[in-house]
Amino acid sequence: MDQEEMMARADWLAVLARAPQAAMEAALSGVTTGPVVWIRPAGIGMVMLEGRAGGTGQRFSLGQATVTRATCRAGEQIGVGYVLGHFPRRAELMALCDAALQGPSGAALMARLITPQQAAQRAARDDRARAAAATKVEFFTMARHAGARST
Amino acid sequence: MPMSAPSRRYNYGYLDEGTKRMVRRALLKAVAIPGYQVPFGSREMPIPYGWGTGGMQITASMITPADRLKVIDQGADDTTNAVNIRRFFARVADVQTTDKTSAATLIQTRHRIPEEPLTEDQVIVLQVPQPEPMRGLEPRETECRKIHAWGEYGLMHLKLYESVAQTGRITINHSYPVLVGGRYVMSPTPIPRFDNPKMTGMPALQLFGAGRERRIYAVPPYTEVKSLDFEDHPFTPQHFPDPCGLCGAVGVYQDEILLDDRGGKMFVCSDSDFCARRRAAGHKGPMAED
Amino acid sequence: MAYVPVKGGEEAILNSLGMVAEERRGDPATPELTIAQIRQQQARAVDRVMAEGSLYDPDLAALALKQAQGDATEAAFLLRAYRTTLEQFATAPPLDTARMAIRRRISATYKDLPGGQVLGPSYDYTHRMLDFDLMQDGPRAPAARAGTPVDAHMPRVPDLVANEGFMEPALPPEGDPAPGDLTRQPLGFPAGRDTRLQNLARGDEGFLLGLAYSTQRGFGSNHPYAGEIRAGEVPVEVVPEELGFVIDIGEVTVTESQMITSIKGASGENPRFTRGYGLVFGHSERKAMSMALIDRALRADEFAEPRKYPAQDEEFVLYHSDNVESSGFVQHLKLPHYVDFQAELKMLREMRAERQEASQ
């Protein structure tokens, strides 16, 4: 896999990790892959989350988070699902989507699932960031926005 | 779309195999250095700390379907905590349980050692609330580690001496400190000092687990375990003058049962299995029904 | 009178469990709580359970709260015990709080700063008056939205000060070693800062709060400033073995607190600010700030400060901060102790008898 493919795959896996189960079920319903073999059936485990003292200093173990993962072979492709939380079915659907996205029906699935999900997720993030922005106390708004305070 | 089959079942014995290996490594070290407290990566168990999590982790790491498990608390099989721990292992280890001391391969206990002598084929696991015998004298772990490393147990002898000087006797009734294999001072756990003499030269392997304090220690079979004392104030176990009210046994540890609000009471065997078996064999105490 | 022993424990225990279940459910005419309701509408309780349970999973934390009838410590215990049964798949690269999607970010040390003071959702500006409107269901007004979102990357305040050289830098030790994990290796002393921070992050909020407060009331000597408090969502990345590259698997809500304290100029060094750090699961400023104050107090040796107070005493703090440990051991006194008690009673009787004999 080259760098570009890796990045594309990392991007869609991030979108899939946040995608609702129903959206993945619906998007997959029209997709035909080869026979599916579960290399690693959905399993729940943990990942240790770390912090850094002061934000940038010594690493420390903050605590664990639950993670669900699954790996399948669908036709020629290997698909993986990794999602934060306790979601066996979502991890499986992710793996199936990941496999399909690498195969012949990839472009169609991209258009039907990833692109709209990515847009929805961006909109939700933007909405939260605008709600936070509405609570911002600005003392020198005009000046900073005008760029007049540069030294 | 095809589903895989996610498993929600717990691993055999609750702990995962990696954790069991970690516990067993600590056990091996403990057996190799009798009486020495081995730190281990104690896990959080589904019962609270202080309720037997250390003993439970040892049991969970050793248990096999071929074992027969006995669990006692205060000598009895039917006390709430004993029932609860036994139910737990029946659930997660599909193990046969028994009340009968001689039938058990593995005995987990809190605060007692059974009256019936144990054999080479048995392992007894004691639950330990506070593994550090010096803790009451020195709250700091860092200092206690030095005391053990240097074998400087003067502080403990001083405590015993002060007790003799003030009251004419050693006033430690349970958790009576012992010297194991002539090297480490060890807490025998809160067993009454009545049980201390059972520890020395015992044919069974004695294992001690302290979950909250993350320590494991052991007394291998046939190891010398000496209760600390002075030549002119030798160690003495407790002695109960009356026979058991139900089975008539003497020379056993007894519970005092309050019968009414006018001072009526009855002394009975603390070891409920021992008492039941004696009654079954026809022994009868002064308070037993005909 | 004659007595027959019977087996007491088993049935009584089962019936006790049944009674818990009945009381947990309450009046069957009242609708049962859903996990989603708890997760969304009791989110701060969920946060506390995740922090003290040391496991980030809002659904399971909500389930634990439901099962424990809202008892946060009991719920944290349920999560801890569940943790034991899970395999650790991977470690993630450290969370980067500079990439936080800011929900709230304030500083007490600068009036205004790049990114601004973002008040976010906070009880700090409420009047603590019961809102009787909440007694009924009803439509709630949505929050306002600004035309432009908050900055995607907001510099951390101590880093702004550090740029001027006034601030003790926060740099990883040589080689940026992987941290210890006190859930796998037992505590040893002296404990590293990594161990201390992990212990505090999962410690009891009340214990931490009390200790932090003690440092402000004279049982400590640092005058702290809230350099920055921020809360929001941070992405979690892992490198799965089967992929070999970094993937983003979701996000967690965390609260970070940077306390800036006392100016030091020991042994000819330039005087500068020192720091304490707090980072906790969920949105909990009370806990993050307490953690930061205690972290700073525990760094006494680094700055050659005399260790005189409880909050500076690492054995005292680290051994007593965990509420699953302390709750278990305090409450183990409920377990039968009649063997031990009998031993004491017997000795008292004997000593009394001896005294009586001696006086006759």
Return the CATH number at B94: 3.40.50.11310
Which value, to the nearest 10 degrees, does the dihedral of the CA atoms of residues C215, C218, C223, C226 take?
40
Q: Would B152 be classed as within a structural domain?
A: no
Token readout for B21 is 């290996």
- Is A44 an 8 Å CB contact of chain B? yes
What pLDDT was estimated at residue B23? Answer: 97
Instruction: State the DSSP H helix or E strand holding residue B272, giving kind and residue range, or none if neither.
Output: helix B272-280
Same domain, B272 and B199: no
CB contact under 8 A, C12 and B80: yes
- Closest CA relative to residue B254, chosen from B274, B271, B237: B271
Q: Which of A62-71, A121-130, B48-57, B160-169 has the lowest mean pLDDT?
A: B160-169
Residue A39 or residue C305, greater confidence: A39
For C156-189, the DSSP string reads -HHHHHHTTT-B------TT-PPPP-TTTS---S
Residue C220 C-alpha, separation from nearest chain A C-alpha, in angstroms: 21
| Chains interfacing with A (3 or more CB pairs < 8 Å) | B, C
List the single residue in A29, A44, A92 with the smallest CB-CB distance to B3. A92
Residue pair C57/A85 in contact by the 8 Å Cβ criterion: yes
Interface of C with A in 280-299 (CB under 8 A): 281, 295
Phi, psi of A60 (to 5 degrees): -145, 155
> What pairs with residue C276 in β-bridges?
C259
> The whole model's pTM is what?
0.90
Confidence of residue C89 (pLDDT cuts 50, 70, 90): confident
Asked if pLDDT for residue C351 goes beyond 60, the answer is yes
Q: Is C22 helix (H, G, I), strand (E, B) or coil?
A: helix
Which of B199, B227, B255 lies at the terminal end of a domain, its last residue?
B227
Interface test with B, best of C71, C88, C333, C339 (most B CBs within 10 A): C339
Same domain, B35 and B98: yes
Asked if pLDDT for residue A84 goes beyond 50, the answer is yes
- Domain range holding B33? 5-135+169-227
Name the residue in chain A with its Cα closest to that of C228.
A54
| Chains interfacing with C (3 or more CB pairs < 8 Å) | A, B
- Is A123 an 8 Å CB contact of chain B? no
Residue with tokens 């702290």: C224
Confidence of residue C242 (pLDDT cuts 50, 70, 90): confident
Same domain, B184 and B276: no
Which value, to the nearest 10 degrees, does the dihedral of the CA atoms of residues B4, B7, B11, B16 take?
60
Q: Would B157 be classed as within a structural domain?
A: no
- Is B140 an 8 Å CB contact of chain C? yes
Same domain, B245 and B288: yes
Domain chopping of chain C, boundaries: 9-83, 97-121+155-170+185-327
Confidence of residue A149 (pLDDT cuts 50, 70, 90): very low
Name the residue in chain C with its Cα closest to that of A39.
C242
Residue type, C146: A
- Closest CA relative to residue A64, chosen from C67, B45, C61: C61
Same domain, B243 and B109: no
CB contact under 8 A, A92 and B4: yes
CB contact under 8 A, B48 and C77: yes
- Closest CA relative to residue B281, chosen from B252, B248, B255: B248
C300/C306 Cα distance (integer angstroms): 7
Residues of chain C contacting residue A117, judged by C-beta atoms under 8 Å apart: none
Interface of B with C in 85-124 (CB under 8 A): 87, 110-112
Residue A18 C-alpha, separation from nearest chain B C-alpha, in angstroms: 20
Q: Which of A70-79, B9-18, B138-147, C307-316 has the lowest mean pLDDT?
A: B9-18
- Closest CA relative to residue B189, chosen from B124, B145, B273, B235: B124
C335/C6 Cα distance (integer angstroms): 20
For C137-159, the DSSP string reads ----PPPP--SSPPPSS---HHH
Residues of chain B contacting residue C9, judged by C-beta atoms under 8 Å apart: 78-80, 82-83
Name the residue in chain A with its Cα closest to that of B16.
A45
Phi-psi label, residue B53: left if phi above 0, alpha if psi -120 to 50, beta otherwise: alpha
List the single residue in C80, C84, C186 with the smallest CB-CB distance to B214. C186
> What pairs with residue C56 in β-bridges?
A65
Confidence of residue C271 (pLDDT cuts 50, 70, 90): confident
Name the residue in chain C with its Cα closest to that of A81.
C249
- Is the C-alpha dihedral spanning C98, C104, C110, C113 positive or negative? positive
A135/C144 Cα distance (integer angstroms): 8
A33/A103 Cα distance (integer angstroms): 8
What pLDDT was estimated at residue B6? Answer: 38
Sheet holding C272-281: strands in order across?
Answer: A136-137, C117-118, C101-106, C225-238, C247-264, C272-281
Confidence of residue A140 (pLDDT cuts 50, 70, 90): low
Which residues, at least 6 apart from B27, have a Cβ–Cβ distance to it below 8 Å? B58, B61, B62, B207, B216, B218
Same domain, B210 and B271: no
For A10-68, the DSSP string reads HHHHHHHHTS-HHHHHHHHTT---S-EEEEEEEEEEEEEEEEEGGGTSSEEEEEEEEEE
Residues of B designated as active site: 35, 244, 247, 269, 275
Instruction: State the DSSP H helix or E strand holding residue C343, giving kind and residue range, or none if neither.
Output: helix C338-359
Mean pLDDT of C313-317: 95
DSSP 8-state symbol, C4:
-
Q: Would B177 be classed as within a structural domain?
A: yes
> What pairs with residue C247 in β-bridges?
C238
Same domain, B90 and B53: yes
- Is A26 an 8 Å CB contact of chain C? no
Domain count, chain B: 2
- ipTM for the assembly: 0.94
CB contact under 8 A, C5 and B275: yes
- Is A53 an 8 Å CB contact of chain C? yes
Interface of C with A in 196-235 (CB under 8 A): 197-198, 201-202, 232, 235
What pLDDT was estimated at residue C8? Answer: 66
Cα distances (Å, whole numbers) of residue C60 to A143, C63, C64, C154, C238: 48, 5, 6, 31, 21
Same domain, B282 and B204: no
Q: Would B110 be classed as within a structural domain?
A: yes
- CA atoms within 13 Å, Cβ hemisphere of B237: 18
- Is C93 an 8 Å CB contact of chain A? yes
Q: Would B43 be classed as within a structural domain?
A: yes
Per-position pLDDT tens, chain B of length 290: 444 443 346 789 999 898 999 999 999 999 999 999 999 999 999 999 999 999 999 999 999 999 999 999 999 998 888 999 999 999 899 899 999 999 999 999 999 999 999 999 999 999 999 999 999 899 899 999 999 999 999 999 999 999 999 888 898 999 999 999 999 999 999 999 999 999 999 999 999 999 999 999 999 999 999 999 999 999 999 999 999 999 999 999 999 988 888 888 899 999 999 999 999 999 999 998 76
Per-residue three-class SS string for C188-249 = CCCCCHHHHHHHHHCCCHHHHHHHHHHHHCCCCCCCCEEEEEEEEEEEEEECCCCCCCCEEE
Same domain, B222 and B244: no
- Is A104 an 8 Å CB contact of chain B? no
Is the peptide bond prior to B48 cis by the omega test (within 30 degrees of 0)?
Answer: no
Q: Which long-range contacts (CB under 8 A, 24 or more apart) does B6-13 make?
A: B6/A41, B6/A42, B6/A43, B6/A44, B6/A88, B7/A41, B7/A43, B10/B92, B10/C85, B11/C85, B12/B92, B12/B93, B12/B94, B13/B60, B13/B61, B13/B63, B13/B89, B13/B92, B13/B93
CB contact under 8 A, A93 and B5: no
Q: Which of A127-136, C2-11, C70-79, C97-106 has the lowest mean pLDDT?
A: C2-11
Q: Would B150 be classed as within a structural domain?
A: no
Residues of chain B contacting residue A92, judged by C-beta atoms under 8 Å apart: 1, 3-4
Residue A89 C-alpha, separation from nearest chain B C-alpha, in angstroms: 8
Residue pair A65/A91 in contact by the 8 Å Cβ criterion: no
Chain segment C40-88, per-residue pLDDT in tens: 999 999 999 999 999 999 999 999 999 999 999 999 999 999 998 898 8
Mean pLDDT of A36-42: 95
Confidence of residue C90 (pLDDT cuts 50, 70, 90): confident
What pLDDT was estimated at residue C237? Answer: 96
Residues of chain C contacting residue A21, judged by C-beta atoms under 8 Å apart: none
Interface test with C, best of A47, A102, A118, A121 (most C CBs within 10 A): A47
Phi, psi of A19 (to 5 degrees): -80, 140
Residue A124 C-alpha, separation from nearest chain C C-alpha, in angstroms: 11
Same domain, B204 and B282: no
Q: Is A81 helix (H, G, I), strand (E, B) or coil?
A: strand
Q: Is B39 helix (H, G, I), strand (E, B) or coil?
A: strand
CB contact under 8 A, B287 and C3: yes
Token readout for A11 is 């991007």
Mean pLDDT of C32-41: 98
CB contact under 8 A, C60 and A131: no
Mean pLDDT of C19-30: 97
What pLDDT was estimated at residue C49? Answer: 98
Confidence of residue A109 (pLDDT cuts 50, 70, 90): very high
C160/B279 Cα distance (integer angstroms): 81
Token readout for A148 is 């007049």
